[in-house]
Structure 1
Amino acid sequence: MADTRRIRHHRSPVTYALRIFVITYLILLVAWPVSLVVTNTFENGFDAMRAVFADADTVAALRLTVVAAVVATAVNTVFGVAMSLLLVRSEFRGKRLLSSLVDLPLAISPIVVGLSLVLVYGGRGGWFGPTLESAGIQIIFATPGIVMATAFVALPLVIREVVPVLEEIGLEQEQAARSLGANAWQSFWRVTLPGIKWAVIYGVVLTLARSLGEFGAVKVVSGNVLGETRTATLAVEEKYLNWEQESAYAIAFLLASVSVLCIIVVSVLRSRADRH
């Protein structure tokens, strides 16, 4: 007992120092900069927010951002759950390579992502661009390109939330459902999906938050056309560089608020579910 107290006594200064370091780091890197965005947004009351919603081009940018984020999140959710099931429930050659490719969007710059999409789907020199445009389908410098770029950068988030949970719950419940006569779809809907529900929800929230804030890849593929292909993040840059800082802060605050609100709501719902 005395040895335990002595160990705790010797470790406590290190523990306190580590806590101070972590808290200071988070304050300087996250809390303080974000708080400055909030204070600058409301420095003159709600004037900046009114100006944002009074500007038709800014409203169009916000609308396009929401559309791209929601569509990209929906696509990544379906793909992410399917890919997670493939990685966990199947054994095949190249499985490790496929798992590594899933993390590629986290490893490369979004600018590279945007440029890669231009090289594949661009109208001038792209592999599929001329053929698609001759059929009346424009990808680059249009909404589809923005959605693709957004989906690409947020691709791994649902997968990396769902895979560990699938590995943890195992196959026993699914096998029991099959033995009772359930088909593959019934087994997934009634057994697998409830087991990974919160992992999917967290993945969706993270994907949505990441999609709302995407800048680099979208800037390359969008063309940044005012009122048409300019997203909210591009509007933040444009207004800040044009000395419209209040509007830039207000748009940034709106994007951050939606992301933070989603995370808070999910955390509250999960805490209530755990209590019940």
Structure 2
Amino acid sequence: MILSPLARHLLRWIALSYIGVLIAVPVGLILWRTLAPGLGQFAAWISTPAAISALQLTLLVVAIVVPLNVLFGVPTALVLARNRFRGKAILQAAIDLPFAVSPVVVGVALILLWGSGGLFGFVENDWGLKIIFGFPGIVLASVFVTVPFVIREVEPVLHELGTDQEEAAATLGARWWQTFWRITLPSIRWGLTYGVVLTIARTLGEFGAVLMVAANMPGESQTLTLLVADRYNRGAEYGAYALSTLLMAVAVLVLVAQVILDARRAATVRQSEGG
């Protein structure tokens, strides 16, 4: 379908207006409210013990969730891409479940499983290991909502690569771990890296599931998103704006990394096609 120049300009302005109203205006308003009292006040709010503790806890959750998703996501993607088996469709649906289920529902499900009165309540009652309303619950909730990202970024790459190189390596006597380390892993590195970036972004911004399973205690189980909500609910609106800006700054760094990775991946694809 060929559009006239007027129609193209109209569609372009409609798209820009839509993005501006939904994204640019709210973000710009938060930045304006944050910086209105001055940079000194902003620095004071983000350097409070509660803010520093929340940021450290959030980054610690990211540091745990990302390796777990990589450790279990890559083998799962390999199983889905390289094998046919009964129940594969069910497994695919289960992986996509976090996309369809509300994070609040995820939190409730984790409470029913790991709470003191839940299915695995003996872990807390008999072993004394507190999962729900503690740090392990935050990690579990974050892992659940980020499960699909690594798998869904790596699996299509494996389908595109095929098995020719892996079969050739096996024919030459390479062990499975040598094949994976020298052939499979370098081939999926861009998809894996992109999945890691998405996992980091989702973990940083997760609120609903974490809210349900965290005690929200400053310095113990309060992530940065929970601290933003806490400050706003307590009437310290400027503190909420300042912490939101800090969270956005971290998210922007992740976004910049994503853009750089996209550019490098596109350059790599062009080089391989040209070669």
TM-score under structure 1 length normalisation: 0.90
AA of the residue aligned to 2:100? A
2:132 paired with 1:140: yes
Paired residue for 1:94?
A: 87
1:244 to 233, 236, 246: 236
- Structure 1 residue 267: Cα displacement: 2.5
Deviation at 1:11, TM superposition (A): 4.3
1:3 paired residue number = none
Q: Any conservation in 2 of the 1:158–1:200 contact (CA below 8 Å)? A: yes
Distance in 1 (CA, whole Å) between partners of 2:18 and 2:103 is 26
Q: 1:4: which partner in 2? A: none
- Kept in 1, the 8 Å contact 2:135–2:214? The answer is yes
Which ranges of structure 2 fall in alignment gaps of 5 or more residues?
A: none
Q: Indicate if the aligned counterparts of 2:46 and 2:243 stay in contact, CA closer than 8 A.
A: no
Which deviates more, 55-64 or 259-268?
Answer: 259-268
Determine the structure 1 residue equivalent to 2:26.
Answer: 33
Inter-partner Cα distance in structure 1 for 2:8 and 2:169: 48
TM-score, with structure 2 as normaliser: 0.91
The AA in structure 1 aligned to 2:212 is: V
Q: Does residue 111 of structure 2 align to residue 111 of structure 1?
A: no
Per-residue CA deviation, residues 199-233 of structure 1 (Å, 9 max, x unaligned), is 11111111101001111111110021222111111
Quick check: 110-119 or 59-68, which moved more?
59-68
How many pairs align? Answer: 268
Partner of 1:159: 151
2:113 — aligned with what? 120
Deviation at 1:93, TM superposition (A): 0.2
Aligned: 1:256 with 2:248: yes
| Aligned match for 1:200, one of 192, 195, 201 | 192
Larger mean CA deviation between 201-210 and 219-228 belongs to: 219-228
CA displacement at 1:269 relative to structure 2? 4.8
> 1:83·1:159 contact (CA, 8 Å) conserved in 2?
yes
2:50 matched to 1:57?
yes
Q: Does 1:81 align with 2:80?
A: no
Give every structure 1 segment of 4 or more consecutive aligned residues whose post-TM-superposition deviation is greater than 4 Å: none
- CA distance in 2 between counterparts of 1:91 and 1:260 reads 40
Unaligned runs of 5+ in 1: 1-6
Question: Which deviates further from its counterpart, 170-179 or 127-136?
Answer: 127-136
Contact 1:48 1:247 in 2 (8 A): no
Contact 1:129/1:138, CA 8 A, preserved across alignment: no
CA distance in 2 between partners of 1:112 and 1:227 (Å): 26
Alignment identity in percent? 43
